[in-house]
Amino acid sequence: ENISDFSLNITDCTQVVVPEEVFFTVAAAGILENLLILVAVVRNKNLHLPMYFFICSLAISDMLGSLYKTLENIFIILCKMGYLTRHGDFEKKLDDAMDSMFILSLLGSIFSLLAIAADRYITIFYALRYHNIMTLRRALVILAIIWAFCAGSSIAIALFSYEAATVIPFTILFPLMMFFILCLYVHMFLLARSHAKKIASLPSSTVHHRTNMKGAITLTIFLGVFLCCWAPFVLHILLARFCPHNPYCACYMSIFHVNGTLIMCNAIINPMIFAFRSPELRSTFKKMFYCPR
Amino acid sequence: MSALRLISNRTSQQALSNSDYTWDYEYYEYGPVSFEGLKAHKYSIVIGFWVGLAVFVIFMFFVLTLLTKTGAPHQDNAELSEKRFHMNSFVAEFGRPLESQRVFSHQMAEESQSLFHFCINEVDHMNKEKESQKGPNLESNTHFQEVPKSSGMFEEDLHCLTKFNIPNFVNTEQNSSLGEDDLLISEPPIIL
């Protein structure tokens, strides 16, 4: 609508609107799912392990992202109904707080994924020393450091968003982290492959290629989902900073709502990739639902 | 993030047509964007981005599956014989010769430390007495027959570790590692 007001040509890129019902459904599903994981980990003593704490951290950051979208939509509806004006100081501060919540969620997501990958890496390559390297206390300290850093950065970015300099480190961090996580997982994958070959050479073994195929599929799904959900938004930030007046960039930026919905979909898919693969967590869910107190 | 604020402004604007923005965006506004004389399709960045992303993901998938299908040339002979020795100790009771491990690449063998190797090396460092006791354990372990059917490589490594009877390691390790082994394998492991 904005662009159509200003553009000189009829054939412009109007904002692609995602219906609010879809927004709310996706956001609510994300929040509920991640909340479920948190509850399950808290209730089951067997899940008080570093690995599950990192998964919880991911669940919290996904929840924050969905919460941001929900709050924003509620904010807009309140504006529609006239309960809130958009001129006041309070609204501006609220908007600042919500922006920093979103950036916090994004940074928290990236760092949680990194922590999960590092934890798995240590489990595989330093298996016998794992319990000395990754104690519960160290895991909590690592999480505290990560979240303190993310909170500080998000507040700084929200306050100084007018500077061009804030966008650049942000957009460099994203591919850097992706690449690092990819390296960790590929290394683990190579080790798994060599083990599979060893097992395959045993006389009574029957499976090999199928297992590694599954590994390839899993790894591709994980990285593909992460890329597809976050990269569009990061590209949007870049384009908005560097070429807002270019018609091509403006057309890309018109699908911003779709990109936002993708991020919320990531909040729904992440638990399926990480948390629900653990048999212990699944049995905790079953206990929670089939034997309610 | 100015983009976020601007976008939230725009969504607000969709609600009310007579909008009056007071948030200061003087430096950044969607001024008149002219769509005259575009050489390429106006959604070209969108299309190009998604196509590029899809190509990258598919390429990554093919690289990974190629890694699984093709073995690489050969392994270092010294390492090969050493590994064969350890493998033989596992398969002694089966009475069948071990096939040669030419599928391993030299690079792979160096980079990806075999956990079997690791088990044995670590135990060397930790406790030599225990290792000598484990020797007969490894060879006479009939349960190992079940292990390959579980189709999980991490499960085998865990079984290898359980044989060493490292104190306070087995029980907790079962919980933590078996859960996250599902990174690559989604079948439940066989617990000995």
Q: In this complex, is the C-beta atom of B87 within 8 Å of any C-beta atom belonging to chain A?
A: yes
The answer to whether the CB atoms of A188 and B104 lie below 8 A apart is no
10-residue mean pLDDT series, chain A (293 residues): 46 76 88 91 88 92 87 79 74 79 87 89 86 89 94 84 68 83 83 78 63 73 86 84 80 84 89 85 85 63
Cβ atoms of B183 and A218 closer than 8 Å:
yes
Distance CA A139, CA A49 (A): 9
Distance CA A173, CA A114 (A): 12
Q: For residue B168, give every residue at least 6 positions away whose Cβ sits within 8 Å of its Cβ, in sequence order, or none.
A: none
Q: For residue B14, give every residue at least 6 positions away whose Cβ sits within 8 Å of its Cβ, in sequence order, or none.
A: A1, A15, A17
What is the arithmetic mean of pLDDT over B93-121?
43
Domain range for B45: 38-69
Q: In this complex, is the C-beta atom of A191 within 8 Å of any C-beta atom belonging to chain B?
A: yes
What is the torsion angle, in degrees rounded to the nearest 10, for the CA atoms of residue A49, residue A55, residue A59 and residue A62? Answer: 150
How distant is the alpha carbon of residue B9 from its chain centre? Answer: 42
Candidate from A46, A192, A250 with C-beta closest to B184: A192
Cβ atoms of A99 and A161 closer than 8 Å:
yes
A 122-141: CB under 8 A from B: 123-125, 127-131
Q: What are phi and psi of B109, to 5 degrees?
A: -65, -35
Cβ atoms of A211 and A193 closer than 8 Å:
no
A 13-32: CB under 8 A from B: 13, 15, 17
Distance CA B75, CA A8 (A): 67
> B182 versus A99: which is more confidently predicted?
A99
- Find the helix or strand (DSSP H, E) in which A282 lies: helix A279-290
The answer to whether the CB atoms of B61 and A216 lie below 8 A apart is yes
Residue B145 has what pLDDT?
Answer: 39
pLDDT digits (tens, 9 = 90+) for B11-57: 444 443 333 443 333 333 455 666 666 777 778 888 899 999 999 88
Q: In this complex, is the C-beta atom of A120 within 8 Å of any C-beta atom belonging to chain B?
A: yes
Cα–Cα nearest to A250, from A258, A261, A242, A262: A242
Residues of A in contact with B91 (CB under 8 A): 202-203
- Find the helix or strand (DSSP H, E) in which A211 lies: helix A209-242
Cβ atoms of B6 and A253 closer than 8 Å:
no
Residue A139 has what pLDDT?
Answer: 92
**One-letter amino acid identity for A180?**
F
Q: B158: nearest CA in chain A?
A: A127
Q: What are phi and psi of B41, to 5 degrees?
A: -60, 145
Q: Hey, where are the domains in chain A? A: 20-196+213-281
Residues of B in contact with A2 (CB under 8 A): 10, 13, 30
Cβ atoms of A248 and A268 closer than 8 Å:
no
Cα–Cα nearest to A267, from A115, A37, A66: A66
Fold (topology level) of A20-196+213-281? Rhopdopsin 7-helix transmembrane proteins (1.20.1070)
Q: In this complex, is the C-beta atom of B23 within 8 Å of any C-beta atom belonging to chain A?
A: yes
Residue A86 has what pLDDT?
Answer: 62
Q: Which residue's entry shows tokens 């083990």?
A: A195
Q: B17: nearest CA in chain A?
A: A1
Residues of B in contact with A237 (CB under 8 A): 1, 3
Other Cβ atoms within 10 Å of A291 Cβ, number:
7
Secondary structure of residue B154 in the 3-state scheme: helix
Alpha helices of chain B — where are they, by DSSP H? 2-15, 44-69, 77-91, 106-111, 115-126, 128-139, 153-163, 170-180
Residue B172 has what pLDDT?
Answer: 41
Residue A230 has what pLDDT?
Answer: 86
Distance CA A182, CA A176 (A): 10
Helices (H) and strands (E) in chain A, counts: 11, 0
pLDDT digits (tens, 9 = 90+) for B76-86: 444 444 445 44
pLDDT digits (tens, 9 = 90+) for B135-165: 444 444 344 333 333 344 444 444 444 444 3
Residue A191 has what pLDDT?
Answer: 82
Distance CA B119, CA B154 (A): 13
Q: What are phi and psi of A48, to 5 degrees?
A: -85, 70
pLDDT digits (tens, 9 = 90+) for A226-280: 888 888 888 888 888 788 778 888 888 888 888 888 888 998 998 888 888 888 8
Burial of B167 (0-12, 13-18, 19+ CB in 10 A): exposed
Residue B125 has what pLDDT?
Answer: 54
Q: B188: nearest CA in chain A?
A: A279
- The total number of structural domains that make up chain B: 1
* pLDDT at residue B186 greater than cutoff 90: no
Cβ atoms of A108 and A61 closer than 8 Å:
yes
DSSP per-residue string spanning A240-273 = HHH-TTSHHHHHHHTTHHHHHHHHHHHHHHHHHH
The answer to whether the CB atoms of B32 and A72 lie below 8 A apart is no
The structure tokens listed for B140 are 């006479």
Cα A217–Cα B100–Cα A124 angle in degrees, nearest 5: 40
Residue A87 has what pLDDT?
Answer: 67
Smallest Cα distance from A122 to chain B, Å:
11
The reply to whether B48 falls in a domain is yes
Q: B64: nearest CA in chain A?
A: A216
A 31-90: CB under 8 A from B: 46, 49-51, 72, 75-77, 79-80, 86-87
